Structure 1
Amino acid sequence: MLHATPAAAEKRAAFRAGLNSGTLQRFPGAFNPLSANLIERQGFEGVYISGAVLSADLGLPDIGLTTIAEVSDRAQQVARVTALVDADTGFGEPMNAARTVQLLEDAGVAGMHLEDQVNPKRCGHLDGKDVVEMAAAVRRISAAVSARRDPDFVVAARTDAAGVNGLDDAIERAKAFADAGADLIFPGAMTGPADFEKMRAAVDVPILANMTEFGKSKLLDAPTLESLGVNLVIYPVTLLRIAMHAAGAALREIAGEGTQEGLLDRMQHRRDLYDLLDYQSYATFDQNIFTFSV
């Protein structure tokens, strides 16, 4: 039941504890609240809300077209589980970044990340992106850190500088972001283990690995990432890609065969959906309240 989930403060404290536990935290990307429930049911430590996935869900490319209202609305829908949210560049200048922090705090999520791209941004695995000067990026992070009201709300700093200016610049930015108060460093487009080793050696705060498919990074398994000192791994678009591939195949079969009969063994059964939605708890709650009499 929704009312039985931990409060936002508890989720934030648990997220911080997980980042500092020495155990890799695994956050698959949720594309809606139902997929977030499924991720939680499978025992993952939390979910990631990807800007690219939200854009795609709205039928838009990931080129900075989404708004803070759209991001905070989706974040609030998913926030019954521990969630880290992609807040792009903070949707403007430092004051916008500060407001973004407070809106996402109010949405109940555990943390967010800001990046150092020029606003409006581009997907980190696209060519042609650019980053702001380091001082401007540091101001974004400083504004976000100073604006939060819950000290357990995690402010993560993402740098896309490795793909623009090289790894050395990304490392210098990561160190500056940590000095500005960032709780977690998200180095974009790391090409392999050696990049993570260098980043891990450069900063004392936790670091994040983005294991997205068809991008610039080699896909590394969880034991390898943990051995490299990575604290959090996200799989931002995996579930959406799987779901859309399956949906496309199903639609082609219906169009060709005129029926979905041959798809039944590839569907989530009604009983499994009802179990995931916790129908029984809602029914019990309703019976206990609605039928109560003195």
Structure 2
Amino acid sequence: MAGESDIWDGDEWEGHVLHLLQAEHGAHNVQKVPAKHLGDCGLDFICLHEQLVYQCYAVQEPIDVAVRADKQKSKITIDIKKFCDPNGGAAAILKGQKIKRWILAVPLHDSKAVVEHAAKKAAEVRAKKLPYVDGDFQIIIQDRETFDADTWNHRMLLRKRIRPIVPEPTDEDVAAVSDGDQSLADNLRAKMVKRVSDSGELEDVVDDLLRVFVQSENAKDTLRSMAPDAYENVVRLISERLRRLRLGSRRLVGDPLDAEIDSLKTAILAAVPNLDPGTADTIALGAVSDWLMRCPLKLD
């Protein structure tokens, strides 16, 4: 039986394989063949520099080994027929090429019967002597064990993306922060006036920074409920960065805020790779706003 990690929606599996192939062959060496317009032609991806074509297939799990094998054999039969059609899309796309391998990429391959069927169909393809098929043409089956383990594990981590639903801060939420400690807003004005000279615009910027700070706190609260370990990693990282800033009374130059936000977002995603990038951006924005309010960051 397939485990939980082997249960895939067909579109999700195809997208997963695309990223694995891009990691293995290079993004510029993998051509996707969309099926939405004019239909499927028996292949999903082409790696021409390797003379490989891939077809993705994920059965509806859970099922037993024999049923999975029958479905995979049927998939090979149907799609190889399309691949061999001299008037079909594959023939037109692969004109001038010599494809050596047609690869069925599946989440789980656990039956030698599928290998035997693939060998039989490959012999039939070679016998057709198609102009775009190499004399050494083979049909093979690949599953998770075939791909680089580090790349697979990284993609599986991203598959378990942490996406907190973060409520937008209300005007009352922002006012509560500002009214609770007026020095916070005053610190923001004192530091941002060097970047924004217009008084009306300055107040809008201060309000935006307070708002993103509140939203960042909301994001961290949601993250703490969803993924406590990820929350602890993020909070620890921010605390360590703030400690360095305070000890150094760090002066930021150039385009300081953008650089600091980008740097912190990158560090957060490195610590928690499966955190939604938008959430990481929100937390980084809020953290830098907090630092502007509370620590001796100086803007030149």
Do both proteins adopt the same fold according to a TM-score greater than 0.5, normalized to the shorter chain?
no
When normalised by structure 2's length, the TM-score is 0.33
Larger radius of gyration: 2
Instruction: With a CA cutoff of 8 Å and minimum separation of 6, indicate the structure with the bigger relative contact order.
Output: 1
When normalised by structure 1's length, the TM-score is 0.33
